[in-house]
Structure 1
């Protein structure tokens, strides 16, 4: 496919997304209709689509359409306006020629500004971000418009960090260590080759964001650890590689755990999956981790459509769900044990204020540690707090 044809494909996908289809599904639908598109073409179209979603606020200045978003994307990545016009020449599979009205709007958009445009998120979320981050709000918002880096966690039970680096290099994957977590590697060349690499398939490395790795690395040692909102199991796998605890995993939606067994087998980690009732029978646990459902605001580089789909009503419901999970998990913690509360959010109302609320409403608990991981650190935005249960709790 030519560069122009890729832009046309991205316009088609974005129009389908704007009509109500999830971005991933829209991309899959396009790929199935476009058997001629090679792997590099599919990757390029995907990159354009997700860049447009990350910067939708700014790119929608000339109209919230697939064409409008892609046209603004082209203006940003091209060095000259003539290059943009060459891509939109209407020849073959290229998008149609830029109209006089579009040309005028493209010029004017450089002189427009609003919070939604500058922060690339709905106006009400701009308010949440400012209230949560203060002077860092604008720079974090800008960071969330960039493509997320690919990080790997070295599974030390399968070999050393240096051995993993060499193994990945043999598959033409260049990596470098990241300071945020000792076993973290950032992929700097050929990230799309990771899934087919010997290091990945032999369990030497796992895909995991560096902030998520740091969060897991810092969790207190325990003899029995339960990941209560385990999802794909990345955090319990990371904890198991660094600790000799008996490991347990639960998720309210068992389907989210479907990949845990093969991942655990590949990593050489034994994890027992528990139902809600089984968790109650198996308690107490020294450490219960609750990585609760949240806005996902710290990971909007990876899932940018989330910020446009989130409503204020849904946000308030998430806050209640988070408290419900904490109250549900609290009785599973042993006296003197830790209930670890985590989100991939940068908002105070999902983080510090939730901890304050829980401690105010539940006797016998003390917040003994809390930390924010900012997107400015290199990885996703995360929050972690330790709630310690008193012996009398």
Structure 2
């Protein structure tokens, strides 16, 4: 496919997304209808679509419309690319720009320029202060690709050499002692020997740093209460903890046993019905459901789906999660509360609420990771029983 044909494909997928189809479903549907497209074409089209989703407001403003075509025109302009070079009408290219499209000028509001919903910008500013614009700008760009090295079986240096033999260039990242940032050929990772042999897992560097900050000791009993896909459960197990992974939707953990076997570690799986059978834990870790505001460059559609009502519901859910953790914690044990959010109502605000209702716990440390640190935005607080 030509570059112009890839833009035309992105327009089709964006129109599908704008009609209400989730982004991943729209991409999969397009690929099934266009089986002639090779892996490089699909990857390039996916990049166009997610670049557009990260910059949906500014692209719509610069293209003066909320259609796939207008958004791609605006995206090109925002990236400093002349749309006339791709909208040629030749072959499978999009139709040439009209005189009206070519003469468009736009003045973007601050929220449009930063690709932030109007209602949310004050919340972001209250949380981030002078870093607001820098963080929102970072979230408009593609996220780095990170690997977590399974240090129970190898070292970062050895993994670097192994990956390099397959053309994958990676370098250590300072956020975590297990983190490697992939600089070249990230799409080769899933087929690499290091990945297939369980020597590495895809995991954001800040997510790895959150696990390291817990200072887990070998033999400690740890509950990953909101395990999801299980990335942090695997990281905890690699530190020698006896890990139980739990999620309110157990289907999210369906791949975890195979991943644990590949990594050479043991993780027990709990459903809500069986959790009490495991007793209490030295550490209960909860990466709670949240806005995902710290990871919007990876999942940008979440930014546009968030509404004031949905945000309020998330805050209620976080409090419900926190309220259930003390009963699972051993006497003298600890709770670790985390979100992939940069918004204070979801972070310190929730910890303060918890402490007002549980005087037998005290916060001993907290940290807010920012996208400006290189990884996602993550918050972590450790609460210890008295």
TM-score (norm 2): 0.97
* 2:348 is equivalent to residue 352 of structure 1: yes
CA deviation map 1:342-385 (0-9, x unaligned): 00000000000000011112231111111000000000000000
Q: Alignment partner of 1:124: what SS?
A: coil
* 2:372 is equivalent to residue 370 of structure 1: no
Q: Alignment partner of 2:136: what SS?
A: helix
Query: Unmatched 5+ residue regions in structure 2?
Result: none
CA contact 1:115–1:126 (8 Å) conserved in 2: no
The alpha-carbon deviation at position 281 of structure 1 amounts to: 2.9
Moved >3 Å (runs of 4+) = 76-79
CA contact 2:59–2:78 (8 Å) conserved in 1: no
* 2:189 is equivalent to residue 194 of structure 1: yes
Q: Alignment partner of 1:88: what SS?
A: coil
Residue 102 of structure 1 is matched in structure 2 by: 101
CA contact 1:279–1:332 (8 Å) conserved in 2: no
Residue 199 of structure 2 is matched in structure 1 by: 204
Residue 223 of structure 2 is matched in structure 1 by: 226
- In the aligned structure 2, how far is the partner of 1:126 from the partner of 1:104? 30
CA contact 1:14–1:49 (8 Å) conserved in 2: yes
Q: Alignment partner of 1:354: what SS?
A: helix
CA RMSD of aligned residues (A): 1.1
- In the aligned structure 1, how far is the partner of 2:57 from the partner of 2:75? 12
> Equivalences for 1:286-325 in 2 at 5 Å?
286-325=282-321
Q: Alignment partner of 1:121: what SS?
A: coil
The alpha-carbon deviation at position 278 of structure 1 amounts to: 2.7
**Structure with the larger helix share:** 1
CA deviation map 1:171-218 (0-9, x unaligned): 110000001111110000000000000000001111000000011011
Residue 153 of structure 1 is matched in structure 2 by: 148
Q: Alignment partner of 2:100: what SS?
A: helix
CA contact 1:288–1:332 (8 Å) conserved in 2: yes
CA deviation map 1:22-58 (0-9, x unaligned): 0110010100111111100000000000000001111
Q: Alignment partner of 1:363: what SS?
A: coil
CA contact 1:345–1:383 (8 Å) conserved in 2: yes
Q: Alignment partner of 2:333: what SS?
A: strand
The alpha-carbon deviation at position 90 of structure 1 amounts to: 1.1
> Equivalences for 1:1-393 in 2 at 5 Å?
1-61=1-61, 62-79=64-81, 81=82, 84-105=83-104, 108-109=105-106, 112-222=107-217, 223-242=220-239, 244-390=240-386
The alpha-carbon deviation at position 77 of structure 1 amounts to: 3.6
- In the aligned structure 1, how far is the partner of 2:242 from the partner of 2:304? 40
The alpha-carbon deviation at position 387 of structure 1 amounts to: 1.1
The alpha-carbon deviation at position 78 of structure 1 amounts to: 4.7
CA deviation map 1:267-309 (0-9, x unaligned): 1110111122432232220000000000000000000010001
- In the aligned structure 1, how far is the partner of 2:216 from the partner of 2:23? 40
CA deviation map 1:223-254 (0-9, x unaligned): 10110000111111111112x22111100000
CA contact 1:119–1:126 (8 Å) conserved in 2: no
Query: Unmatched 5+ residue regions in structure 1?
Result: none
- In the aligned structure 1, how far is the partner of 2:173 from the partner of 2:113? 30
- In the aligned structure 2, how far is the partner of 1:291 from the partner of 1:340? 8
The alpha-carbon deviation at position 126 of structure 1 amounts to: 1.1
